[in-house]
Amino acid sequence: MAHDHKLAIFRGLITFKSNERKIWGVFAFLSVVTVVEVALGIIKPEVLTENRFLAMKLLNWIFIVLTLVKAYYITWDFMHMRDEVKPLRRAVVWTAIFLICYLVLILLIEGDYIYEVYKNNYMKFTF
Partner 1 sequence: MDATVAQTGTEGKTWGGGNRPLNASYGKMMMWFFIVSDALTFSGFLASYGFSRFKFIDSWPIADEVFTHFPFLHGVDAPMYYVAFMTFILIFSSVTMVLAVDAGHKMQKNKVIIYLFLTVIGGLIFVGSQAWEWATFIKGDYGAVETNGGKILQFLDKDGNRVAIGEFATTLPSTSVTHTEGNGIWYMEGGTETSFNYEEVKAGFLANENLLIRDQELVPDMAALRASDLEADKQEVARLERSYINLDEIGEKAIYSREMSVSKLVNDGKLVVEGANLKHNEYGTPLFADFFFFITGFHGFHVFSGVIFNLIIFFNVVIGTYERRGHYEMVEKVGLYWHFVDLVWVFVFTFFYLV
Query: Which residues are at the interface with partner 1 (CB under 8 A)?
Result: 1-3, 19-20, 23-24, 27, 30-31, 34-35, 37-38, 41-42, 49, 60, 63-64, 66-67, 70-71, 74-75, 77-80, 84-85, 87-88, 91-92, 95-96, 99-100, 103-104, 107-108, 110-112, 114-115, 118, 120, 125-127
Give the Cα separation of 28 and 22 in Å (integer).
10
Helix axes 19-43, 58-73, angle to 10 degrees: 160
Shortest distance in whole angstroms from residue 10 CB to partner 1: 18
Choice between 12 and 111, CB closer to partner 1: 111
Beta partners for residue 8, in sequence order: 15
Q: Which is nearer to partner 1, 2 or 13 (CB)?
A: 2
Q: In the chain, which ranges are E strands?
A: 8-9, 14-15, 52-53, 56-57
For residue 104, which amino acid is it?
Answer: V
To 5 degrees, how large is the angle CA 42–CA 33–CA 103?
85
Cβ proximity of 33 and 69 under 8 Å: yes
Q: How far is the CB of 127 from partner 1 (least distance, A)?
A: 4
Shortest spacing between CB 95 and partner 1, in angstroms: 6
Write down the least CB distance from residue 55 to partner 1, Å: 11
Residue 14 or 74 having the CB closest to partner 1: 74
